[in-house]
């Protein structure tokens, strides 16, 4: 009889462990990066991760962006950088944030003067 109880205990443990494990994996997959191209020029690409967009109570948003520099001749990626930006959708302003930054950390807003990539990033980010 004790051997049968041990088997039942082991099966119950495996079942509970499986439930916990597979529930945790589901959370990991829901936070995948979903890069969407929002702007380009002959030698630059700009993407946003739509899953990273977060609004605060004042209507500002933060979004993770990816900038890629490309060779215009063969369209190979030369360099890629990711960064976090804050966006004031109403006034079409932006501010770069530290990697783990918060919208409350914005000190100065910048205008995207003559920067097609940033202008399109703001417009497309605000559409979500």
Distance CA 57, CA 37 (A): 27
SS (H, E, C) 6-38: HHHHHHHHHHHHHHHHHHHHHHHHCCCCCEEEE
What pLDDT was estimated at residue 98? 79
Whether the pLDDT of residue 87 is over 60: the answer is yes
Distance CA 128, CA 113 (A): 23
What pLDDT was estimated at residue 21? 66
Stretch 50-77: mean pLDDT, rounded? 89
pLDDT tens digits, residue range 1-41?
577 777 777 778 777 766 676 665 545 455 688 899 999 88
State if pTM tops 0.75: no
pLDDT tens digits, residue range 56-67?
888 899 999 999
The residue extents of the domains of the chain are: 1-31, 35-126
């Amino acid at each position: 009889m004790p051997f049968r109880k041990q088997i039942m205990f082991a099966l119950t443990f495996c079942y509970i462990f499986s439930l916990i494990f597979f529930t945790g994996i589901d959370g990991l997959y829901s936070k995948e990066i979903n890069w969407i191209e929002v702007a380009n020029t002959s030698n630059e690409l700009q993407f946003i991760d739509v899953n990273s967009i977060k609004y605060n109570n004042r209507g500002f948003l933060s979004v993770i962006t990816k900038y890629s520099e490309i060779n215009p001749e063969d369209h190979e990626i030369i360099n890629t950088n990711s960064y976090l930006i804050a966006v004031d959708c109403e006034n079409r302003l932006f501010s770069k944030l530290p990697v783990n930054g918060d919208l409350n950390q914005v000190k100065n807003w910048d205008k995207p003067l003559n920067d097609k990539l940033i202008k399109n990033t703001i417009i497309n980010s605000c559409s979500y």
